[in-house]
Homo-oligomer: A and B are copies of this chain.
Amino acid sequence: MLKQTTFTVTTRGRGTHELTNEVQRFVGAAGITAGLCHVFVHHTSASLMLCENADPTVRRDLEAFMARLAPDGDPLFQHQSEGPDDMPAHVRTVLTQTGLSIPIRERRCALGTWQGIYLWEHRTSGHRRRVTVTLQGG
């Protein structure tokens, strides 16, 4: 069985947007007992991650880490025409994930206790981000 849906997430600038509930609802409604759930973001300056979902400080620290690693306006970068945050956004995307596959067991994404699914907006301004979820299994 294969199920696929596309939806849009409106971000409010740099930061994370949790998708766990939205993805779990789609998986629950699909009636797939076992298989795989694939989440994909159709962009090159926003990405996906599975991240600790209990303490928001973890995501704050990940932002601080990325800001140190590839700071906005870094003179290393020639690609500055779309703003000082654009090339760092591409770097952050390449270092994280555009797609995530998660096992489906017992009609749910079998996430670990502390795993949440996050869309990570890397641009400083808000954007509309397209996400596609594809389920395969039986």
Contacts and interface: CB of A to CB of B under 8 A. Distances in A.
B115 A91 contact: no
Contact of A43 (B40, B90, B115): B115
A40 B50 CA distance: 11
Copies in the complex: 3
Nearest to A3: B34
Contacts of A23: none
Interface residues of A, number: 59
A44 B52 contact: yes
A55 interface: yes
Contacts of A11: none
A15 to B, nearest CB: 15
A19 interface: no
Interface string A96-136: 11111111010000111111000000000000001010101
Interface of A: 2, 4, 6, 34-36, 38, 40-45, 49-52, 55, 57-58, 60-62, 64-65, 68-70, 76-79, 81, 87, 90-91, 94-103, 105, 110-115, 130, 132, 134, 136-138
